[in-house]
Structure formats: structure tokens, C-alpha cells
Chain A
């Protein structure tokens, strides 16, 4: 980050201080970003603004045709979701919020630790290293909707997982139901981790390979063991890569949809009280019971939560984001 800025300052050769002079001097840059700006205005900003406006409207199947001219009801949608004790919408929202928090936390921790473990283990010389890395990467390449339907099939009561756990390993007295009740959380977390670990592992491995060997050699001469090397060399030098992956994780787990949706009725089903996530909840409210106004309000609330988390993330990792040279 640092370096790119220093470099970019070198292209304009004459030093001009006026704003207009700087704008005309960088004319080419504006031409280059113009297509991206047009695309982002059309497909990002206009829809986001209208989406936020929708959260203040009574928008359901009767008023859908009117779109933004639907009756304005102020904060009523937010009140229904957050405070209306009689509304099933409210209990569904809070279930989904709780599930998403648990899901996101467990996925973040497990994905990061497994990926870090594998990255460290792959960062050694051993036979079949290339093959192991390739095989470990494959889950990430399987499309997420295929992942969802494949695991949904495997978790079935007479599916392969129960056959291994009960018929072969005898871990349970009878075949547990993974796709109903509290066990759903396990059934949605494992496929998510399965698909996400490879990519994070790859990024961490690339980060590890940038750490010079001399650091470890010097530490070994000073008598440091493997754990101390990891704790005092690997972790601090990997912090900038780790922080980016943490941010990535926060966003992708809170907005997780494909795998869970596909596991339950291939998008048409309900993951239940213990497995419903924010995105499946909002999607169902919007496209199955046609409550677009409350759906938009719920989306805005989740988005604010993510922004809060990102702000906290920024405060924590602020100093690690710039690569020191």
C-alpha cells in the first residue's frame, strides 16, 4: 500500500498545487475509472439507495407495482422487526440474528485455525507436497450450490454420514437427524468450513513464503523452539495477511447464503429455528411471503451490524494494514 502511493506520486513530474491543475494533469486516470464508476452507480448506488428507501415503505405483493410510490410508513418496518412482541417476523429475525452470530463466530475461528495449521504444515519440504496442496484446494473449486446439495444429500438420515457414524463407527445409538432441530447448526457449519478453508490456506501459505528463512535460522541459533518461532516470528509477520482474511470472513459468513439455502429444499425450504441465517430469513420473507418492506429493513439492520464489526476490525488491525518495508 505504502509503496504504490510513493510510486504513483512520481508520474506527475511538474509539481502543481492547484486542485484544478491536479485534475487536468490526471485526466487519463479519470477516463480509466469512468466505466467502473458508471457501472457502480447503475448497479450499486441506485439500487442501494432505493433499497434503503424501500425499508420505509409498506411494500408487499399488493403495492409491489408502485415500487417507490408505495405508502410511506416511516420506521414501522423496523418497529415490527425489533419491538413488535406479537410478530412472528420479530422472533424469526432474532433467531436468525443469533444463529448468524454463532455461525459466523464458529466458522471464523475454525476456518482461520485450520487454514493456519495447514499452511504451516504445507510450508515444509516433503514428498507429495504439490499433490497435497492441489487436493486440499479442490473443495474451494466446487461451486457452492453443488456443495449445498451434496452435503444436504450426505446429511440425510440414511445418508452416508450417518452410515459411517452409526453403522461403521457406532458413535450414536440411533441415526441422528442432522437437518432438523439444533443439529442443523453443525450441518451448515461443516460444509462452509470445508469449502472456505482451502482459499484462506492458500493466502496464508503465500504470506508464509514471504517470510525470509534467515529469521528462523537466527532464532534457532538463539535457541528458540518451534513454538516460540511461530509465536514471535510467524504470527507477527503474518498479521497483515491474517487481518485481511478476518475481514473477508466477517463479511462472507454474515452474508452466507448459497450453501445453506441449497441444503434445504434447494432454496425453497426452511432451515428451521436453529439453522436459519439472516440471508435465508430475508430471502424467504421477501420472495415467499412477499414482505419486501420488512425484508429491506432487516437487510439495513444487518448491514449496519456488519459496518459496526468492520469498524471494530479497523480499530484493531489499523496498524497492521500497511506493509512495512
Chain B
């Protein structure tokens, strides 16, 4: 009797697990299908897309044509340069500030923390026009060109992603035991020396996570790119990718190929550093 009941329980548990797996499976299909469709259409000819006839997707010429039809390499290169510089600048500044707010209870630290959070409530469009006009003013009065230059867009992006990065890093630094610095200071390190030599090396995971986050956000940004980088020498991918479809042509095949090429770098970065990203983000962000 007893074993029979246990069997029934086990069978029921098995059935529930199977159902749960099926639900996960359905969501996996939903998550992946659009991406697969993007890859498939990027390998179809224009005619196949228009008629909807599904042949074997093997039109690899699209991946050659897309670089010629639009000078996509230039936009791609610009995105890589802008996003890398942004990541370096924003991460360095945010690391210093994040460490300060996590370790020091200085007068004004509360206000600083609150301001950092408050900036997240302001929509990007609020800054956009004032910044644009401010940049024009700077150029007219000081002669420094900021519109359509790398420094201009990198300064804007960095400043943009600093507050949230401070917030992630603050949580991460708080999870590191303070005894590490105390020991280093007893051994004769200065406070700053203890931060650089002891804390930074053990914070690699948090720094990687924040860096990935900044890079993904910068890669993703389009509103400021549309206004502040209009000339092809500095314009990023969101500006260039619009040229495949619109006023002059309707090359959805090339657009999808460009979409795949745009996604690939961030996909590689994310999945090769996934573990660090998850540990780093959750150490800080989950705590809130």
C-alpha cells in the first residue's frame, strides 16, 4: 500500500515536471523564432521575400552586398569606436564614485546617491535639444567642435550611463568585506592604494558586468545618434542601418543581413562573459 502511494506521488511529480519543461520549451521557441527568421531572411533573395516562397536559405551574397550597397563598414567601425571609448570612460568614472558611496559615509553622500537615482527619471529627449543647442553654442564661442565628432558623442554617452553604473558598482563594492582594506591599511597602504591594489583586483567580475552593461546600452542608443552624429564619418549603426529601406530602396534582404551583423558582436560579448555578467549584476542589483 505504502509503496503504491509513493509511486503515485512520484508519477504525479514527474508529470508536473514534464509540463513545466513543456512550458519552458514553448517560451524558448518564442524567444528564438524571430531571431531565426532574421537569419533565414538574411539568406533569401528579394524575390523569395516578396513572393513568400520558402526555398533553402542559401543566398550568402547578401552578406557581401550589404557592405557595398551601404558603406556599412564605416558605421560599424564608428559604433565599435564610440561604444568602446564610452565603456572605458564611463566605467572608470563610475568605479571611483561607486567605491566612494559604498565605503564612505561623507556629508552629502545621501544627496549624491539620491541624485544619481533621480537622473534615471529624466527622459533622454529632455537633454537632447538643449545639448544639441549647447554644443552649437560651444562651437560658436569656444571653437570646439562637438557635433559630429567622436569626443562629443562619447562625452554624452559616458555621462548618460555613469549614474546607473555607479548604482550597480555601489552594490557590488558593498558585498566585498571591508576587512580587506583594513588589513591593507595596517600593512602600510594608503586608503587610495588599498582601493587600487586590493579592492580593484577582487572586483573584476563587477567591473566586467558593468562594462558589458554600458557597452550594450551604448550599442543600443539611437535617439542621440540620430541627432548628434549625422555625418557618415562618425555616425553609428542606427543611423546607417536605416539606409537599406526607405526613400531610395527596399532591400529587406540586406537589412536583415545587417541586423544579424549588428547583433553578432554583442551576442558574442554577452555569451562569452555571461557568467561574470550575471554574478556581477546580481551582487549589486538584486540587493537594491
Contacts and interface: CB of A to CB of B under 8 A. Distances in A.
Contacts of B223: 257-258, 283
Nearest to B176: A7
Nearest to A207: B286
Interface in A60-81: 64, 67
A136 B33 CA distance: 11
Nearest to B288: A244
A96 interface: no
Contacts of B150: none
Contacts of A316: none
B131 A29 contact: no
Interface in B23-53: 23-25, 27-28, 30-32, 34-35, 37-38, 41, 52
A48 B102 contact: no
Interface in A274-315: 279, 282-283, 286-287, 292, 295-296, 299, 302-303, 306-307, 310
B31 to A, nearest CB: 5
A53 to B, nearest CB: 9
Interface residues on B, range: 35 or more
A236 interface: no
A7 B93 contact: no
A150 B219 CA distance: 17
Most chain A C-beta atoms within 10 Å of own C-beta, residue among B99, B191, B282: B282
B242 to A, nearest CB: 4
B121 A310 contact: yes
A138 interface: yes
Given A134-B271, A266-B246, A32 B130 contact: no
Interface in B93-117: 93-94, 96-97, 99-107, 109, 112, 115-116
A267 B288 contact: no
Given A1-B288, A23-B106, A145-B241, A286 B129 contact: yes
Interface stretch (B3-11, B58-66, B154-162): B154-162
Nearest to B173: A4
B163 interface: yes
Interface stretch (A102-110, A117-125, A176-184, A212-220): A117-125
Interface stretch (B68-76, B200-208, B252-260): B252-260
A198 B267 CA distance: 14
Contacts of A203: 281-282, 285-286
Contacts of B92: 35
Nearest to B106: A26
B144 interface: no
Contacts of B85: none
Contact of B112 (A33, A46, A210): A33
Contact of A54 (B129, B216, B255): B129
Contact of A206 (B31, B116, B125, B278): B278
Contacts of A144: 220, 222
Given A299-B126, A321-B288, A50 B134 contact: yes
B214 interface: no
B197 to A, nearest CB: 15
A135 interface: yes
B93 A35 contact: yes
A258 B227 contact: no
Contacts of B23: 117, 121
A270 interface: no
A296 B129 contact: yes
Main secondary structure of the interface of A (DSSP, over half): helix
B287 interface: yes
Nearest to B171: A4
Nearest to B165: A36
Contact of A287 (B34, B126, B155, B227): B227
Interface in A109-155: 114, 117-118, 121-122, 124, 126, 132, 134-139, 141-146, 149-151, 153-154
A221 interface: no
A122 B17 CA distance: 11
B216 A40 contact: no
Interface stretch (A8-16, A83-91, A227-235): A8-16
B109 A29 contact: yes
A138 B267 contact: yes
B128 to A, nearest CB: 8
25 contacts: A1-B288, A33-B101, A36-B162, A39-B93, A39-B159, A39-B162, A40-B119, A43-B155, A47-B127, A50-B130, A51-B130, A136-B24, A146-B259, A146-B263, A149-B245, A151-B34, A153-B255, A203-B285, A210-B286, A241-B286, A251-B120, A279-B125, A296-B126, A299-B125, A310-B121
Interface of B: 17, 20-21, 23-25, 27-28, 30-32, 34-35, 37-38, 41, 52, 92-94, 96-97, 99-107, 109, 112, 115-116, 119-131, 133-134, 137, 155-156, 158-160, 162-163, 166, 170-171, 173-174, 178, 181-182, 191-192, 216, 219-220, 222-223, 226-227, 237-238, 241-242, 245-246, 252, 255-256, 259, 262-263, 266-267, 270-271, 274, 278, 281-282, 285-288
Given A8-B102, A35-B93, 4 more contacts: A26-B105, A64-B133, A132-B25, A202-B278
